[in-house]
Amino acid sequence: MENKTPAPKKVSDSLTVMTEMIMPNDTNPMGNLMGGYLMRWMDIAAAICAGKHCEAHVVTAAVDNISFQKPIRLGDVITLEAKVTRAFTTSVEIYVEVFANDIKGQNPRRCNHAYFTFVALDDTRKVPCEVPAVIPLSSEEEQLFESASRRREIRLILSGRIKAKDATDLRRFFSEME
Ligand SMILES: CC(C)(COP(=O)(O)OP(=O)(O)OC[C@H]1O[C@@H](n2cnc3c(N)ncnc32)[C@H](O)[C@@H]1OP(=O)(O)O)[C@@H](O)C(=O)NCCC(=O)NCCS
């Protein structure tokens, strides 16, 4: 890993907004957007955001659970918003939200959201490299920043990379609730 520490960056520096219209090829036999297509677009929006923040090649390391709360119909227009919540050493967490409305801009709704983890790679595209820290400014950014370390610990426990007893932020969080 390179030694030079990159300068911290704001969330707005890498905010990524992507719009798609749902076409017949994107739908299932009921005329709703296929979940897998939505996941693909979410991954793309998140990767663009992560690459911009890290100024590096990035790979998806993990995706937290995605639930499909509201169907998205043929002809709807969806907007995906991807923002970095926090950077760790070589990884970043990206929050993606999906909103939909019809072609006339009616029936606006928030359809789903998910957290993605990307790892930045150096120019050999093989070795993880250090990522810029995130400067949270708004209260929403601060809340996402603060909770990111607990979500990361859950991921690392579930993937067997750390033991539950070593999840210090989660332990502190739950002990403060007692
Ligand atoms: C992601 C990848 C580069 C990690 O490689 P590795 O040898 O495990 O690297 P490291 O142990 O140095 O970990 C690198 C970072 O990834 C994070 N990471 C690895 N697996 C993770 C997981 N399941 N969840 C969250 N973070 C994870 C580590 O915590 C570390 O982050 P940090 O430096 O900020 O603490 C490697 O597993 C890989 O190339 N995976 C395939 C990626 C890919 O093809 N994605 C597309 C899938 S379709």
- 159 occurs within a structural domain: no
Number of domains in the chain: 1
Judge whether 43 lies within some domain: yes
Residue nearest to atom 37 of ligand 1 (CA): 61
Is residue 169 in some structural domain?
no
Domain that holds residue 64: 9-136
What CATH number did the domain enclosing 34 receive?
Answer: 3.10.129.10
**Mean pLDDT to the nearest integer, 163-171:** 95
Nearest CA to ligand 1 atom 28: 91
Smallest CA-to-CA distance from 94 within 54, 50, 34 is with: 50
**Residue 103 in domain:** yes
**Contact by Cβ (8 Å): 120, 90:** yes
Is residue 56 within 8 Å of residue 131, measured between CB atoms? yes
Would you say residue 100 lies in a domain? Answer: yes
Query: Does ligand 1 have an atom closer than 6 angstroms to the CB of 119?
Result: yes
In-domain check, residue 170:
no
The per-residue pLDDT for 43 is 98
Q: How many CB atoms lie within 10 A of CB 2?
A: 10
Q: Is residue 145 part of a domain?
A: no
Is 46 within the bounds of a domain? yes
Whether pLDDT at 125 is above 60: yes
pLDDT bucket at 1, cuts 50 / 70 / 90: low
Tell me the CB-side half-sphere exposure of residue 17, using CA atoms within 13 A: 6
**Cα–ligand 1 centroid distance for 88 (angstroms):** 12
Res 3: pLDDT: 56
> In which element (H, E) is residue 14 found?
none
What confidence score (pLDDT) does residue 166 get?
A: 95
